[in-house]
Amino acid sequence: MKKVRFIYNPYSGENIILHELDNVFKLHQEKGYQIVPYRIQKDKDISEAFDIVDESYEYILVAGGDGTVDSVVNAMMDRELNIPIAILPVGTANDFGTFLNIPQDITEACEQILSTEPTPVDIGRINNKYFVNVASTGLFTDVSQKTDVNLKNTIGKLAYYLKGLEEIPNFRKLKVKLKSKELEYDGEMYLILVFNGQTAGSFKLATRADLTDGYLDVIMIKAVAIREILPLFIKILKGEHLDSDKVIYFKTDDILIESNEDILTDIDGEKGPDFPLHIQCIKGGIKVLGIK
């Protein structure tokens, strides 16, 4: 019987996966797969989930949000483990799973995963770490890190928005330098997002992103006057922001970001590395099941 390493985060979202475990086992057994589960624990390094993974395993099945998927991919890359992954998007933030068009219904997601072949997709590398959806820095980018897990599990994405409102008094211009072969910038900004996926906090921002083109989509919100922020936000809601003169947008496979500001970085909802940030696209870096 073919084996699948099933890594699930019991803390993700509203603990949905805990009510679906038997269903996941059943659907895989019906297709001739043996599920070998691993329950993520807060005090354990997720890398140990791969101690038993060898050539007898067909793929890695991950149940969680973007942060969980990010942790799994980083552990796999560190071990140079080149087998497909599949995602059950059950977290508070499932931006990467949404971009892959993976259903949030567990039965539908498993059926889609089990009926497809692996597809190579790009991932990002930021210094010595990897990300699947987005790396960011600037205002509001550490909201996910500051949001209480219990609050996220209780009210979902609304918890992020409430925490974001708390950050408004800290609104300020930030000095930054960008350098890539496509563009160089030395000036002020509010926010930089480097996308492999399309969405952040359910906002579809990188509308022209492509997971197989070998490029990352860079979006920088310039430090505009306060009165210009609301019109820009309306453009974002309409999907018209990439052509705005208040936004710098371009694609690249290699960029350096420098800043002396006291700001954090974020990768897929988790704390990112310190500046300077060397960000690259790894074309076809992972193979994913479930893409139609």
Handedness of CA 221, 148, 60, 31 (dihedral sign): negative
CA distances from 29 to 22, 25, 102, 110 (A): 10, 6, 20, 11
Total Cβ atoms within 10 A of residue 231: 12
Burial class (CB in 10 A: 0-12, 13-18, 19+), 260: exposed
Encoding tokens for residue 126?
A: 């930021």
Query: Which residues fall within 8 angstroms of residue 88, CB to CB, at 6 or more apart?
Result: 8, 17, 24, 61, 62, 63, 64, 97, 102, 106, 109, 110
Per DSSP, what are the bridge partners of residue 276? Answer: none
* Residue 80 is a catalytic residue: no
CB 129 within 8 A of CB 272: yes
CB 205 within 8 A of CB 199: yes
**Chain position carrying tokens 């977290």:** 91
Residues with catalytic function: 270
